[in-house]
Structure 1
Amino acid sequence: MVTATFVDGPELGALLYWPEEASRRLPSALWLPADADEESSLVAALGSAWESFQWCGMGTWFAPATAPELPAGLADRYDGLQRELIAEGTLTTPRGLTVRTEWSTLNPGSGALHEFLTAAREARGNGTSLALMGKGASPKAWYAASTAMMHRGLLAFGGIGGTDREEANRSASLTYLATGPGAGYASLVPLDHHPWGGYVLVGDATILSALRSALPDPVPGLAEATWEDVVRRAGSLAL
């Protein structure tokens, strides 16, 4: 029977193709791969199993500064997904783009959850993030840490390039993922669909064990794929 399993920091680093030094700083993760055509079933199962946890999401959207309105936010893009707006911000880049970022608590029962996760995969961590935490935890620490991922979105539209940008992206992602255990959140990161979809939950052992215990048995849509299988097929995390 296929079950949710754990991978450690170096294994997670192998999925990201990161240097060993960076990989050693990564927390462990809950491994939840899925075949592409089964992923929506997996997302529905996760939303139902983890409805007692707080789901938090951050999204960043862009539009020309000359546009008459701001880019549409989360509530307008994903029906029924936003529960409460935590924070929002707008700025204009030197290249003339208006940038809108929102941080919100999410409704895991929304049918738009899979759509939001698909957009997060396509963004590959550039201006987007999603996390889970215990119901009594404050999302403020997650909000603060996720600003590193917001700045990744800004780098995608100007600034440093080449190997310097690659290093900056890795540093921002590592800061965000490694902060989770101390701040009480687990980061939800998609696999990149090459060849498997699904997700990993990155955090400390306590919250990962609680999330694992809350899952149904079997988990709908879960694929029989190890992290070694993914790396061997040149797959990785969408980050």
Structure 2
Amino acid sequence: MDKGEINLLPPLLEGLMVTLQVTAGAIALAVPLAVLAGLGRLSRLRLLRWPASVYVEVFRGTSALVQLFWFFYVLPLFGLRLPAIVVGIVVLALNAGAYGAEVVRGAVLAVPRGQREAALALNMTRWQITRRIVVPQAIPAMLPPATNLMIELLKNTALVSLVTIGDLTFRGQLLRNDTLRTVEIFGLILFLYFGVALLITAGMRLLERRFRAR
């Protein structure tokens, strides 16, 4: 790496910190959304099942970019104006949560029905069955697809550069306009995204091994 490339790193690392902030915030919000929506779709109560289904289908069936533009440009027309970084976190979380809900639902349904019936025969309550039988088996099944969703969320953070958030992609575009050093800049951006994705994968695999060991 020559001296010129080193000079490109500080602004890119500043952008990376924003990308990590958006990613972490979106994941923190997407996880409870996915759990609530996934379990809501399995509920016997229409009052819970229908809103969860509408949420999942709307956010899975529309473009994340269009969702981002709606929250940033359209909602202010109705009097709701949010900071750009909040919009980025909320939209990415809602989008990832919709896909995550299907991961949760599939993992819960994958637990053999016979185990629940046997637990009911032993006079266990539904809460006990969920906590002791369903959840311990469902979580390890959720983690591999959840890892993919987190990496996809990381990559989708590049979209927030279109609503004036100074993330990694945004800083890279500014640098390119100023220096015209396209190869070096986007090579570094690829490397930084790839490094974060590897860290997410390693962390989730460690978590998966611990849950399976238990």
Q: Same fold (TM over 0.5)?
A: no
Greater helix content:
2
Provide TM-score, normalisation by structure 1. Answer: 0.27
Bigger radius of gyration, 1 or 2? 2
Provide TM-score, normalisation by structure 2. Answer: 0.29
